[in-house]
Amino acid sequence: MDTSIMGLFPLQESYTLVVEGLAITLALLWLLFIYKATKKTNTAPEASGASQVASGLDSVVTKWLEEQRKKRAYGDTTTETDFMDVMISVTEANGLVADYDADTIIKATCMTLIAGSADTTSVMLTWALSLLLNNRDTLRKAQEELDTHVEKGRQVNESDLINLVYLEAVVKDVLRLYPAAFLGGPRAFSEDCKIAGYHVPKGTWLFINMWKLHRDPNIWSDPCEFKPERFLTPNHKEVDVKGADFELIPFGAGRRSCPGTRLAL
């Protein structure tokens, strides 16, 4: 984990616990949602596991917030201003909407940032490494491209990316096969509408099955295979992952697409 990112939060030793706990909580909540969606009743087993993990995570972030408030109360200006400190300043200066608690907003915002960036990034890096290690020819080609365009002994700079065409293709095919959110972010219809002759009432939840979309055999040849070379062909060379091409939308599309796209790439 980049130390500059870790520095945004106090009690860095608790960071890993929070990320792992969030992953478990999200998995349990998804299972609960699927259970309810496939049953005729709204009853479901108690999500005791998710509740316990959520309670533990809340206690960790609460401790972060308490220590931050103590530093401010004692006038501690020796440490750098972090994200939580900024959130406290904003809520104190601007006030809040009625019925919203300042501490709840601060904790929820910090947890959202961690869940939306750290967990998804680590998952995608894991898949990328796994695919490369299981496809040695692809790994060799990526290494050769790096050796050609990036001098040994230094890290890759953003200015190098324009020359790393094969590496870009690798990233695209990783995102195609294993998008961080297989069903994307949930959406809700703001008004009644008709889609393909079907009436969809206002308030209906919508999930985009990116896993299915990205493996459509009508669009992709050998859709379940890891083949970065597909993005070097005329048919897919110009396909982008930022939402402009609907056959590949790992970050979603439109105004509600992932706000962390630029950071992730």
Q: Specify whether 129 is located in the same domain as 164.
A: no
Q: Residue 82, CB half-sphere, CA atoms under 13 Å: how many?
A: 23
Domain count, the chain: 2
* pLDDT value of residue 1: 40
pLDDT score at 137: 93
For 54-111, the pLDDT digits (tens) are: 676 777 778 878 888 887 777 765 566 777 788 888 777 766 655 677 788 888 777 7
Residue 24 burial class via C-beta count within 10 angstroms: exposed 0-12, middle 13-18, buried 19 and up: middle
170 CB-near residues (< 8 Å, 6+ apart): 128, 132, 138, 142, 228
Instruction: Answer whether residue 17 is part of any domain.
Output: yes
Most confident of 129-143, 147-161, 231-245, 250-264: 129-143
Same domain, 160 and 96: no
Of the candidates 85, 102, 15, the residue with the CA atom closest to the CA atom of residue 57? 15
Rounded Cα–Cα distance for residues 37 and 41 (Å):
9
Same domain, 9 and 74: yes
Greater confidence (96 vs 167) lies with 167
| Pair 93, 14 in one domain | yes
Co-location of 257 and 171 in the same domain: yes
Q: Is residue 1 part of a domain?
A: yes
- Alpha-carbon distance of 208 to 211, in angstroms, equals 9
Q: How many CB atoms lie within 10 A of CB 245?
A: 13
Domain limit, last residue, from 81, 105, 134 = 134
User: What pLDDT is stored for residue 24 in this prediction?
Assistant: 55
What pLDDT is stored for residue 192 in this prediction? Answer: 92
256's CB contacts (< 8 A; 6+ apart) are: 185, 187
Among 33-42, 129-138, 204-213, the minimum mean pLDDT is found in: 33-42
Residue 220 included in any domain? yes
CB 66 within 8 A of CB 84: no
130 with 213, same domain: the answer is no
Residue 134: partners with Cβ closer than 8 Å, 6 or more residues away: 226
Assess if residue 146 is contained within a domain. no
Question: Which residues are within 8 A (CB) of 17 and not within 5 positions of it... i.e. 6 or more apart?
Answer: 57, 60
Quote the domain boundaries for residue 60: 1-134
110 & 80 share domain: yes
Q: Please give the Cα distance from 189 to 181 (Å, whole number).
A: 20
